[in-house]
């Protein structure tokens, strides 16, 4: 399966193939496998615990259904999504689904036929923020063992550091991004109801509420910034992140300014 082949990149170099296959086969018991994964991660710097943790809580699933007339929020980590979740949780009339979960475009409910919106951030800055969060988060972060071994090692072991926009927007999170995945992600994103830019998020949220005829009682506030000491992005780290996010950078260049469709300009209606 694609998700197994992709996730095993790096893993199979550190572990015997029989153990890799065993853990995948037992993944329907993620709580049990997560404990094993944590011990392996400590010695190998892998990300097995995170893999099973995400399965346990239902993250990254691409086969969910969207309620007729609702809007699905695609929350890519470290894009101010938590602030958006907090804001729209107080606006039930917005009919937004997917607020409390990280999941890609659904292969069962494709954009154009169903309503989606998301936030874009510079891919290098997003990954750097995710790296900082993993290193300095207050609670135990499953990816910490891999991140503690350096940025290059972390990028190799953690798929969320490699073209996550293309993975999420294409609907194939476990597949390594290539030109086909990039094209599919761009096609899907062009059919979104709204693509917001992190750099001007507050103003764009206000405009989105106006287009959607919403009247929030509380102003939007950006919170949940990366913890720990400030870590300036040095040239060597930037080069590593750019190397692992070429497809995302291509996509971001095209859509970085975002857009909000008026109701009359939407391609279709959700079923």
Is the domain of 160 the same as that of 250?
Answer: yes
Domain contains 50 = yes
The better pLDDT of the pair 253, 227 is held by 253
Q: What percent of the chain has pLDDT over 70?
A: 82
Chain position carrying tokens 């972390």: 154
Please choose, from the candidates 160, 161, 172, the residue with its C-alpha nearest in 3D space to the C-alpha of residue 105: 172
- Number of separate domains in the chain: 2
153 assigned to some structural domain: yes
- Quick one: pLDDT at residue 208? 96
Report the alpha-carbon distance of residue 6 to residue 208 in Å, rounded: 36
Task: State the pLDDT at residue 166.
Answer: 98
Whether residue 265 is predicted with pLDDT greater than 80 in this model: the reply is: no
pLDDT tens for 95-137 read 999 999 999 999 999 999 999 999 999 999 999 999 999 988 6
Whether residue 176 lies inside any domain: the answer is yes
Residue 176 DSSP code: P
Q: Do residues 156 and 187 both lie within one domain?
A: yes
Tell me how crowded residue 261 is: count the other CB atoms within 10 A of its CB.
16
Together in a domain, 50 and 85: no
| 223 and 250 together in one domain | yes
Asked whether residue 271 is domain-assigned, the answer is no
> The CATH number of the domain where 210 resides is what?
3.40.50.300
- Does residue 190 form part of some domain? yes
Split at pLDDT 50, 70, 90, the class of 93 is very high
Which residue's entry shows tokens 């065993």?
22
pLDDT more than 90, % of the chain: 64
* Residues 110, 244 share a domain: yes
State whether 95 and 23 are in the same domain: no
Q: 148 and 101, same structural domain? A: yes
The Cβ-side half-sphere exposure at 227, using a 13 Å CA radius, reads 8
Q: Please check whether residue 146 is in contact with residue 47, taking contact to mean a CB–CB distance below 8 angstroms.
A: yes
Distance between CA 194 and CA 119 in Å, rounded? 9
Residue 5, pLDDT score: 43
CB atoms within 10 A of CB 147: 25
Q: What sign results for the dihedral spanned by CA atoms 143, 201, 240, 254?
A: positive
pLDDT value for 2: 44
Q: Which residues contact 140 (CB under 8 A, 6 or more apart)?
A: none
Q: To 10 degrees, the CA torsion angle through 97, 100, 104, 107?
A: -40
Both 48 and 77 in one domain: the answer is no
Selection from 158, 198, 159, 197 nearest residue 181 by Cα? 159
Per-residue pLDDT reduced to its tens digit, 200-238: 899 999 999 999 999 998 889 887 666 666 778 999 999
Q: Which three-class secondary structure state does DSSP give residue 177?
A: coil
CA pair distance 121, 181, nearest whole angstrom: 19
* pLDDT at site 60: 95
Residues 176 and 101 in one domain: yes
pLDDT in tens, 36-76: 888 889 898 999 889 888 888 899 999 999 999 999 999 99
- Which residue did the predictor score with more confidence, 104 or 265? 104
Handedness of CA 203, 209, 210, 216 (dihedral sign): negative
Same domain, 28 and 156: no
- Does any domain span residue 205? yes
Note whether 76 and 13 are same-domain residues.
no
Q: Looking at the predicted structure, is the pLDDT value of residue 10 above 80?
A: no
Q: What angle do CA 142, 144, 150 make, to 5 degrees?
A: 145
Among 3-17, 159-173, 223-237, which range has the highest average pLDDT? 159-173
d(CA 29, CA 270): 35
CB 140 within 8 A of CB 261: no
| Residue 35 pLDDT | 85
Please give the residue range of the domain that contains residue 28.
1-57
């Amino acid at each position: 399966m694609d998700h197994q082949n992709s996730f095993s990149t790096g893993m199979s170099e550190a572990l015997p193939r029989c153990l890799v296959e065993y853990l995948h086969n037992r993944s329907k018991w993620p709580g049990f496998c997560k404990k094993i994964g944590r011990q392996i991660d400590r010695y190998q710097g892998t990300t097995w615990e995170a893999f099973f943790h995400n399965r346990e809580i239902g993250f990254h699933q691409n086969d969910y259904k969207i309620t007729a007339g609702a809007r699905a929020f695609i929350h890519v980590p470290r894009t101010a999504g938590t602030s958006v979740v907090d804001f729209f949780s107080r606006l039930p009339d917005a009919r937004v689904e997917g607020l409390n979960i990280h999941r890609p475009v659904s292969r069962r409910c494709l954009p154009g036929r169903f309503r989606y919106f998301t936030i874009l951030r510079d891919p290098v800055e997003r990954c750097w923020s995710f790296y900082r969060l993993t290193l300095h988060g207050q609670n135990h972060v499953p990816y910490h063992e891999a991140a503690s071994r350096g940025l290059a090692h972390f990028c190799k072991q953690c798929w969320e550091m490699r073209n996550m926009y293309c993975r999420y927007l294409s609907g194939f999170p476990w597949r390594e991004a290539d030109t086909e995945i990039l094209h599919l992600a761009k096609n899907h994103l062009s059919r979104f109801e709204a693509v917001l830019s992190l750099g001007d998020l507050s103003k764009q949220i206000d405009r989105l509420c106006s287009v959607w005829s919403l009247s929030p009682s509380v102003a939007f506030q950006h919170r949940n910034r990366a913890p720990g000491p400030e870590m300036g992005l040095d040239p060597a780290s930037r080069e590593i992140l750019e190397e692992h996010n070429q497809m995302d950078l291509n996509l971001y260049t095209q859509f970085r300014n975002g857009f909000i469709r008026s109701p009359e300009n939407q391609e279709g209606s959700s079923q």
